[in-house]
Structure 1
Amino acid sequence: MPTNPTPALHADCANCFALCCVALPFAKSADFAVNKAAGTPCANLRQDFRCGIHTGLRDKGFQGCTVFDCFGAGQQVSQITFGGRDWRTHPGTARRMFDVFPVMRQLHELLHYLTEALALPAAAPLHEDLRAALAATTEATGADADTLAPFDVGALRQDVNSLLLKTSELVRATAPGPKKNHRGADLMGARLAGADLRGANLRGAYLIAADLSGADLRTADLIGTDFRDANLCDADLRDALFLTQPQLNAARGSATTRIPPSLTRPSHWA
């Protein structure tokens, strides 16, 4: 199977066999109206691999679907790994395809972060290592299904994360003043309106329902930061490090929230 030398890092649902709607499980909660087991098609999935309630997901209790992003893994698995053979007309591919998709999604997430790191001038001393990691990760995405299914993403993630941490340190050092360290902190519901968080380390921090209205998050490291229901109205995230579309989609914002040009303002924001 030919590899894809530059995998797309944005979801292209038209070229995916609705893998996120089948391969992944979800539990009845504030994010999902029902339970669904891994490998079982969502009840809302149509025969053409489209969602029957796509325009009303939030209203019908499927907010979690509007937050998820595969970073382009869906079309990579559907069109490259499996050569356009879908799991309905080729049921023998289903189990392997569903096993490969979560692995590919992690690889594409790493590609997303590495690509961003390489675009940062402050990370120039690390560019050679970052390019090598990008090449290795890209090569992994082009492997066949039998290689991908048991692939040890954890080991690769550890190596990539070490580079991303060094990138973060170089970039955050350019921010003025002392840098706050809230890595992994429980800041659920925290009152941080107007806070100066430039250059802060917010990796893995829980900012669920936190008030960040008007906060300055430029050059803050946001890998893994949980922004579910956080108030980002009027906040400045223009140069935030490693911010993803799912994080924005999970938060609340406004027309005056400043976001990186590579991301899209969520449709549910005021």
Structure 2
Amino acid sequence: MSHERRRPAQDRPSTPSPAPDAARLPLLSDCGDCFGLCCVALPFARSADFALDKEAGRPCPNLRTDFACGVHRDLRQRGFAGCTVFECFGAGQKVSQVTFGGTDWRTAPETARPMFDAFAVMRQLHELLWYLTEAVALPSAGDRGSADRARAAGAVLSAAVYAELRAALERTEELTRGTAEELAGLDVAAHREVVSVLLLKVSEAVRAEVPGRKKERRGADLMGARLKDADLRGANLRGAYLIAADLRGADLRSADMIGADLRDADLRGADLTGSIFLTQAQVNAARGDAATRLPQGLRRPAHW
């Protein structure tokens, strides 16, 4: 999970892909500013993803004293594919450098447990920030310029929904600036539920722009499904199980991908441009190629 210094937590891209907008840069992992939190705070279970068992709070044996990973270049070959998939949405560096002001858990062992607990909450908040930042960038009849400009851009979100999004974004950002004690005491599940309802409104608005009847696959068991060249434009795939699904050449534009399990899904040649709420972790978990089209801001993993 912790890689070379100054490298993001996911594999570096093998081919260029669109750069993220400035608002999302703090939501990308930067292991160079993190104290290896994912390599310590989180548990591992020996499996196809991890070569060993590790309890929460115990450092991975591959974690070096400088908080870099000693086997970064060979993670997959050494049985740590799960590390190349994980994404903390920038929570690691936020907790390390902001919440704890650059004091690491090795230098100050008394900070270890509070730091690890804060990391677990911060990761959830930063994931919500990823979705909310994407949502407020959508064309809107809200405060994104004049009404004429909004109409010209093909406004997707109403002014009311846009205002709710802005308020949720500001509230979530405020929560991330709390102390370790405040983060530990936060009812993050309740906050997620509030944001989830709002993101569903966004999803419905975006998918309504796609003509024709949209496929409803929320939470569906599509493991191993044969969906090659499928027209899934505007589909609701929230929480769908797409493990090892054949999505080669599928059209996933404007599809809602929030929470979809894409582990080992075959995305070669698939078009995900314009899909909403897709994360780097989901992309990392799937299989793709140079012909796979990704939304702006997501990197093409090196293992594709």
Aligning the two structures, in what range does the TM-score lie when normalised by the shorter sequence? over 0.9
Match of 1:137 in 2: 172
- 1:172 is paired with a residue of what secondary structure? helix
Describe how 1:206-245 pairs up with structure 2 within 5 A. Answer: 206-245=241-280
3-state SS of 2:26 partner: coil
Q: Displacement of 1:30 after TM fit?
A: 0.9
SS where residue 182 of structure 2 aligns? helix
1:15 to 33, 38, 63: 33
- The Cα of 1:6 is off from its aligned counterpart by 9.3
TM-score if structure 1 supplies the norm length? Answer: 0.96
Give 2:106's match in structure 1, choosing from 72, 84, 88.
88
Change beyond 3 A, Cα 1:6–1:137: farther
Moved beyond 4 Å, runs of 4+ = none
| SS at structure 2 position matched to 1:8 | helix
- Gapped regions of structure 2 (runs ≥ 5): 1-22, 140-155
Pick from 66, 71, 74 the counterpart of residue 56 of structure 1. 74
Instruction: Flag the structure with more relative contact order, 1 or 2, with Cα contacts below 8 A and sequence separation at least 6.
Output: 2
Aligned sequence identity (%): 66
Tell me, yes or no, if structure 1 residue 111 matches structure 2 residue 134: no
Hey, what does 1:123 align to over in structure 2? 157
State how far apart, in whole Å, the 1-side matches of 2:158 and 2:51 are: 46
**Contact 2:24–2:130 at 8 Å: present in 1 too?**
no
Amino acid at match of 1:42: C
Quote the offset at 1:124 in angstroms: 4.1
Amino acid at match of 1:43: P
Q: CA RMSD in A?
A: 1.2
Of the three residues 46, 50, 57, the one matched with 1:32 is 50
In 2, distance between residues paired with 1:230 and 1:201?
A: 17
Which residue, 203, 212, 215 being the options, matches 1:180? 215
Report the count of equivalent residues.
265
Deviation at 1:260, TM superposition (A): 1.0
Q: CA deviation at 1:150?
A: 2.1
Shift of 1:123: 2.2
TM-score, scaled relative to structure 2: 0.86
**What amino acid is the match of 1:211?**
D
SS at match of 1:95: helix
> 2:119 corresponds to which residue?
101
How far apart are residue 7 of structure 1 and its match? 8.4
Gaps of 5+ in 1: none
